[in-house]
Amino acid sequence: MDELFPNFNRDSVQRIWKSAGEPPWMLPLRLSAFDRFIELELPRWKIAGEGKLEARYLPDWRYTDVSRLDFSRQSPSEFIPPKIVVAQEDEGKVAALPLSQAAAEYPRLVKEHFLSLFDWAGVKFSALHAAFFNSPAFVMVEDGAQLSSPVKISFSNSGSSHISSHALVILGENSSAAVIEERSARNSLCTHACEMILADGSSLDYSALQLHDENSLDFFAVRSRHCPNASLAHFSAILGSKFCKASIAPQLAGEGASASVRSFFFTNGNQHLDLSTNAVHSSSRTCSDTMVKGVLDGSSTSVYKGAISIAANSIQCVSDLNEHVLLLSEEAHSDAIPSLDINNNDVTAGHGASVGSVDPEQLFYLMSRGLSKSQAQAAIVEGFFEPLICGLPSEEVRARARIAIAQKLSGTKR
C-alpha cells in the first residue's frame, strides 16, 4: 500500500477492470502499472551530490511541489462511462465508443496504440493513470472519411473520487474529423490522457475544455503522432482545478506533418498551473506553431515551459512558439521558460514571451466611457483572449470558450 494514496490498492484495479467489462489481456497491463505506481516516489526537483541529478528528481517538476497535496481522501472509482455523441450522418464513417468495448471489437488497434505515446512507467501519476483509468473513450475514423460534425466526448464526475479519463483517437489515411472534449469534476483527483494517431494525409481538429471546480486536482497529458502530411489543430482551455499539471507534445514523425497548438488559461484565488508544450520535429519539412495565452488574478501562479525540439536529420522545418500572460493583481505570479533544442541549421525557429499588467491608460479610457472598473477590466481580459479564440475553426468551440471566460470573470459556477 502507498501511504500517500491509502485507498488505491490492487483490489481496486481488479474491480475497475471487472466493472468496465474489459477483455482479459488488459488486466496484466493494469497490474503492471499498479506495481510501478507503488514503486515510484512523488516527482521532485533536487540536485544531488556533486551536481548530479537523481532519477526521481525530475526537472519538469522544478516549479511544482506535489508533496503538499493531500491525496488521502481520494478513492478510485469503478467504471464511469464517457458520454460520446456522433452525428447521425457520420455513424457509418466513425467508431466512437468506450475503450472497453473497443478493446473487444478492435483488439489489434487498441493493443497497438493504447498508451503507446506515453512513458507511463516513468512518473508516479502516469503509472497511476495506467493502472486506474476508469473513463476511457475510443474514436476511430475510417480511411478517406470526412466527418460532417464534431464527435463530442464528455468526461464528468461529481463525487470526491478519482476520475481517470482517456481518449484514444485514430484517424485513417486521408480522413478528416473534429473532436470536442469536455472534462468537469467536483472535489476530485483527475488524471487524463489523450492520444491521437494521425495516418498519412489525415486532418484532426481537437478542442478540449477543462472545467473542473476549484477543489479538484488535475494531471493531464496530450500526445499526438503524425504520419506524413498529417495535420493537427489542437486547442485547450484550462479554467478549473486548484492545481493543474499539464503537458502537450505533438510528435511530427512524418515528412510534411504539421501541428497548430493553441491554449489559454485563466486562474484566480490560489490556483496553480504548470503547463508544458514540446513540438517534436523528428522528420524533415514539418511545421509547428504554438501560442499560449494566460490571465492570472488573486494570488494564483503559473509556469509555462515551452519547447521546440528539432532532430539533426530534420531539415527545412518551421517552428514558432509564443506565450503572453496578463496579470490582474500584484499577488499573481507567472514564469515563462522557453527552450529550443535545434540540432541543424537548415530550419526556421523562433520564440517569444511577455508578462504584463493591465495598462492603466486602457483602464482609464474604458472607465471614462462609463464602465465600472470591474467592467473595464473584464473587457480588457476578453479582448486579450479574443485574437486566439477568433482563430479557432469551430463556432461552437468559440462560443463555449467565450462563455467560460465570462463565467470565470463573474465567478459563476460552471
pLDDT digit string, tens, across residues 111-161: 999 999 998 888 899 999 999 999 999 999 999 999 999 999 999 987 777
Tell me the pLDDT band of 62, cut-offs 50, 70 and 90: confident
Domain final position from 236, 254, 272: 254
Is 381 a domain residue?
yes
User: How far is 145 from 298, CA to CA, in rounded Å?
Assistant: 47
Task: Cell numbers for 192, please give them.
Answer: 487524463
| Polymer length in residues for the chain | 414
Same domain, 148 and 18: yes
Is 127 a domain residue?
yes
Cell numbers 493493443 correspond to 111
For the chain, how long is the longest CA-to-CA vector?
Answer: 68
Q: Whose CA is closest to 223, among 117, 141, 128, 113?
A: 117
Same domain, 365 and 247: no
Q: Determine if the pTM surpasses 0.75.
A: yes
pLDDT digit string, tens, across residues 302-348: 999 999 999 999 999 999 999 999 999 999 999 998 899 999 999 99
User: How far is 376 from 270, CA to CA, in rounded Å?
Assistant: 23
Domain total in the chain: 2
- What pLDDT is stored for residue 45 in this prediction? 59
Cell numbers 476511457 correspond to 136
Tell me the pLDDT band of 42, cut-offs 50, 70 and 90: confident
Backbone angles phi, psi at 33, to 5 degrees: -65, -40
Calculate mean pLDDT across residues 394-398.
Answer: 91
User: How far is 148 from 176, CA to CA, in rounded Å?
Assistant: 9
Domain final position from 254, 282, 316: 254
Q: Domain range for residue 89?
A: 10-254
Q: Whose CA is closest to 279, among 298, 305, 300, 302?
A: 305
Same domain, 367 and 250: no
Tell me the pLDDT band of 393, cut-offs 50, 70 and 90: confident
- What pLDDT is stored for residue 367 in this prediction? 92
- What pLDDT is stored for residue 189 in this prediction? 94
